[in-house]
Chain A
Amino acid sequence: MVGFSVNGKRVDLDVDPSTPLLWIIREHLGLTGTKYGCGMAQCGACTVHINGEAVRSCVAPVSRATGKAVTTIEGLSPDLSNPLQRAWLEEDVPQCGYCQSGQLMSAAVLLREKPRPTDEDIDEAMSGNVCRCGTYLRIRRAIHRAAETVAKEGAR
């Protein structure tokens, strides 16, 4: 048995503990917002948080989450109220949308650690997330916009 919390809910699963967290989230928990892209931590589409840290869930065995708090895109905010989601809407960021869950989850950690990130901070935090459609310029603008919102409204 592997026990952890996902988006605030406790789960206990009878699964092979070496199974990547990605497939547990997608197939056992039915949370399909977290995506498979490469299976080797190259593209970032599978990014989730474990205790607030951005993790490529395609290479993280589910055992790594034991006793910890996992947050997926579904847990970022239930109603698109997170400043990042709002900024993504304002900047009309997604094209195909497949990578955007991972982009948002990486950006969330960046903003927590660096509330007013520079372009260099964004490059460093976001370069592990590939977007084949090429939405990078809008992602950059949206992160700056979200940072301004948080500064104005106070951290949520």
Chain B
Amino acid sequence: MSGLSASTVRERRGIQRRDFLKVSVAASGGLLIGFQFPGISKLASAQASVGTFMPNAFVRIGTDERITVIVNHSEMGQGVYTSLPMLLAEELDADWTKVGYEAAPVDPKYNHPAFGMQVTGGSSSVWSGLEQFRQAGAAARAMLVAAAAQQWNVDAASCRTESGAVFNGSNRKLTYGQLVGAAAKLTPPEHVQLKDPTTFKLIGKPIKRLDTPEKLNGKAVFGIDVKLPGMLTAVIARPPIFGAKVRSFDDSRARSMAGVRKIVVVPAGVAVIADTFWQAKMAREALQVDWDEGSMQNFSTSQMMQEFRERAKTPGTSVRKEGDAAGALVNAAKKIEAVYEVPYLSHLMMEPLNCTVDLRPDSCEVWTGSQFQTVDRANAAKVAGLPNEKVQLHTTFLGGGFGRRANPQSDFVVEAVHVAKAAGTPVKVIWTREDDMRGGWYRPAFLHAIEGGVDASGNAVSWRSRLVGQSIMAGTPFAAMLMKGKDYDPASVEGVDDLPYAIPNLTVESHQAEINVPVQWLRSVGHSHTAFAVECFMDELAFLAQKDPYQFRRQLLLKQPRHLGVLDLAAQKAGWDKPPAKGVGRGIAVHFAFGSYSAHVAEVSVTDGKVRVHRMVCAIDCGQYVNPGIIAAQTEGGAIFGASAALFQELTFESGRLQQTNFNTFPVMRINECPEIETHIVESNEKAGGIGEPGVPCAAPAIVNAIFAATGKRIRRLPIRLTEAV
């Protein structure tokens, strides 16, 4: 399985030092199948002479009947160690009880088919793996069938497969394990026939996750659990302010403390290397660091937002322009303007950042929960002074990712290699929760200034959105690729640049703020704030037009069947046509993101100045789907993630210093605050979309709109504070 327990870490090191492809077959006496890699099949044929076979990269079949699917996406809770093996096992006709998973090593053959790198993000694992894993399974099946047919001297077309075996007639059966040796002598097929979806046995079913058992008994190995012989543990005294530099430090007390091995300056700060985490942390507390605080020492988020408000009064870079929004507004019967604000947010994965490195003169091994293997390995190699091929990156389980573990600069990996250089032994760098929260790479704060108008019959005739916020792409090595020559960051405006409502006069403008706070993608990225602003403003427009907010949206989405589909489904399941319980308000929101359509209805009451979310009804259309159980989990989890941000979360800075550094000041929704959540999936044959992120964006606007329904008060800034309602 994918875990790296203390004892298996060394075994895997041994394996991975040699040729991965050769050894993984030899070790298990198995069949490793992939597709699309012509070079590999030659290697496989060479191996076939010694009874092993490996024409491609995604599956290994053992003589013990075990089927191991090698997964090129990181498991961070979203279920890829189940959904991707399901795709392969479906086409293979595998016995599902024999299917396991393993994290792929870093290798171009495991690159994301659409992104060209090994990366897990953008809610893309299932749709990008759909063909890849099905093809690999079908290729494996074809070879096993061919091997059996040869053995029986029958036509392959007369054979059938079921539950891990090939059958012919009524009495002939060979299991896949029995066929490993014979199949290894065959050439992989160039073309395979994929199954007719009506015959699926696994795809589309709520199959239970494969990784659950090891997450219930402490066996699952996350990055923080990796242990190597002779390993030391380090914590880093990090800058209290972004951009601060170590001027000098006094370690006279710290270096004499128990267990402390070394205290050294690294680019990230001052690393304290000790036998154990607690010793390192205690010594760090005894360390006196004199910081050159740099240019951010007076930074304040309240001042920044004031500047954003001023900037929103001026025209920004044009993102979208249809008709004449300004002219139509002048002629509108009724008009309204509103300013929506959202704060910096921390990803706050349950597992704080960490990275373990074993650096040798001619090799470097890294163990971490990475979402960005290609980039992390390349950045580690640069610091190690080694070619990429000399660096192995082992992907552990991720205790949450939400985008933070796909850092364009590989910050948490790079610094660990620097520490390993100084340590001279294997070393694990652990971030405390406070380090993790202060460490930056937040969801950027944003301001949306929107004005709009309706005509005398209540039709929306004008909309102008102006956004102000930092770009997450600018300045990264991916800016050119992801900004596609635009003079604004598409990730800032996604979700408003494609506003689906039929409003004839529409303007979207973007202001890019330059602030030295590191920002990054956080679960649902730009949609995490654009859906809030857009869907809350739609509610304000509906009220202005004296129309029901659901019907108002409906009328403007008549040419958007999939938006309409989820909107109607959520409204129907929530019982929109019946009044809610006394004191309860109902709010609705709909949004498209990451290839999927989502709508939420929230039921909320406000008592004694406190917001209580009672129920959320979620409708999701992610096209063809693989595992409805996982979709429900992701949709519920997404709603809770969005609701947590809406209700509780905000990062603020004063004098350059972050004010929230742990769960007590940056709360997450808890079980006693969690509403009932229902997920309804639209049956669809459309192209598969994402599921990890689309559940997030609608939560905040649905809740805020429900607060309006309950109280008649508008909330325009997150997190929700009833005292700010207008």
- Residues of A whose CB lies within 8 Å of any CB of B are 16, 19-20, 23, 26-28, 30-40, 42-43, 45, 72-74, 76-78, 80, 85, 88-89, 92-101, 104, 122-124, 126-127, 129-140
Q: Which residues of A contact B221 (CB under 8 A)?
A: 32
B352 x A30 contact (CB < 8 A): no
Given the known inter-chain contacts A33-B218, A76-B217, please indicate yes or no for A130 contacting B352, CB distance below 8 A.
no
Q: A96 is contacted by which of B217, B219, B399 (Cβ under 8 Å)?
A: B399
Identify the closest chain A residue to B206 (Cβ): A92
**Chain A residue at smallest Cβ distance from B629:** A92
Given contacts A95-B78, A100-B215, is CB(A134)–CB(B637) below 8 Å? Answer: yes
Instruction: Tell whether B305 is near chain A: CB-to-CB under 8 Å.
Output: no
A133 touches B276 (CB 8 A): no
Shortest CB–CB separation between residue A57 and chain B, in angstroms?
12
Question: Given A19-B278, A27-B277, A94-B215 in contact, is the A140-B350 Cβ separation under 8 Å?
Answer: no
- CB–CB A133/B212 < 8 A: no
* Bound form: Cα–Cα A35–B722 in Å: 36
In the complex the two chains form, what is the Cα distance from A129 to B673 in whole Å? 12
Does B225 reach chain A (CB closer than 8 Å)? yes
* Assembled-state Cα–Cα distance A122/B669 (Å): 15
Q: Which residues of A contact B350 (CB under 8 A)?
A: 35, 37, 43, 45, 96, 98-99, 130-133
Number of residues from B at the complex interface, CB < 8 A: 61
Give me 28 A-to-B residue pairs in the complex whose CB atoms sit less than 8 angstroms apart, sorted by A's number.
A19-B278, A26-B225, A27-B233, A32-B221, A33-B218, A36-B430, A38-B662, A40-B663, A74-B218, A78-B217, A92-B208, A95-B79, A95-B634, A95-B637, A96-B77, A96-B349, A96-B351, A97-B215, A98-B350, A100-B215, A123-B671, A127-B671, A134-B669, A135-B633, A136-B669, A137-B636, A137-B674, A139-B671
Say what secondary structure dominates the interface of chain B: loop
Assembly CA distance A135 to B641 (angstroms): 11
Chain A proximity of B718: nearest CB distance (Å): 18
For B218, the chain A residues whose CB sits under 8 A away are: 31-34, 72-74, 101
- Indicate if the CB atoms of A132 and B224 lie closer than 8 Å: no
Q: How far is the CA of A26 from the CA of B258 in the complex (A)?
A: 18
CB distance A89 to B208 under 8 Å?
Answer: yes
| A43 interface neighbour in B220, B276, B663, B677, Cβ under 8 Å | B663
List chain A residues, Cβ under 8 A from B634. 95
Kindly state the separation between the CA atoms of A39 and B6 in the bound complex, as whole angstroms.
Answer: 24
Closest to B641 in A: A134
Question: Contact: A132 with B668, CB < 8 Å?
Answer: yes
Given A42-B662, A43-B663, A80-B213, CB of A132 within 8 Å of CB of B348? yes
**Which residue among A30, A96, A126 has the maximum number of chain B CB atoms within 10 Å of its CB?**
A96
Q: Are B278 and A98 touching (Cβ within 8 A)?
A: no
Q: Are A130 and B208 in contact (CB under 8 A)?
A: no
Least Cβ distance of A37 to chain B in Å? 5
- B:596-643 near A, CB below 8 Å: 629, 633-634, 636-641
Q: Which residues of B contact A74 (CB under 8 A)?
A: 217-218
**B residues in contact with A139, CB < 8 Å:** 671
Are B399 and A98 neighbours in the complex by a CB distance under 8 Å? yes
The answer to whether A134 and B216 touch (CB under 8 A), given A23-B278, A97-B399, A139-B671, is no
